[in-house]
Amino acid sequence: MNLYRCQICGESYIGSVCPSHCPFCGAPGKHLVPADEYRQVPLGEISRKSRENLERALDLAVGNATFYRGAAQVADCERGRALFSALSRIETAHAVLFCQVLGIPLPEELSAPGECSPSHKENLAEAQKRESRAVQLYTRFIEDAGEERVKQLLTALVEIETGHLGLAG
């Protein structure tokens, strides 16, 4: 068995081979390294603009996590329940990352199911919009970021959310 660590969320994974994606935050496997090679980019001081952008990203991640949790409860098939549960878990991990970087506690509403349509099909369409919105927003935030760690996190999140775009189709 081998021990790997995610350079994005910092979580450790034990397995015989490196997974294709972090099982915790969803980062592509290129961000998983043998644990003894793990080096996190230091954060340092966060600019006012990056703080504002990360707070907006946190709001988006919390909203998405709760939406997906609610959509999992009304999904009309096992695949839909599994998909929305997985997306909720990953968005929750993203919210945790943002809170860690911002040095703030997790929002209480993060664990609640959010509002969604009673229609599984409509929730799938909404999921596409949410993932696309996240990609656009995070891409804009990368351009504003002066901190290397913030750029690293947001770049990985763009990769993760881009990978989710085809899931609802």
Domains along the chain with CATH numbers? 2-37 (2.20.28.10), 48-164 (1.20.1260.10)
The pTM assigned to this predicted structure is 0.92
**What is the rounded CA–CA span in Å between residue 139 and residue 133?**
10
The fraction of the chain above a pLDDT of 90, given in percent, is: 89
* Model confidence pLDDT, tens digit, residues 10-36: 999 999 999 999 999 999 999 999 999
The phi-psi region of residue 23 (left if phi > 0; otherwise alpha if psi is between -120 and 50; otherwise beta) is alpha
* Model confidence pLDDT, tens digit, residues 136-157: 999 999 999 999 999 999 999 9
Q: How many CB atoms lie within 10 A of CB 120?
A: 19
Identity of the amino acid at 162: T
* Model confidence pLDDT, tens digit, residues 77-90: 999 999 999 999 99
Sign for the pseudo-dihedral over CA of 167, 128, 97, 74: negative
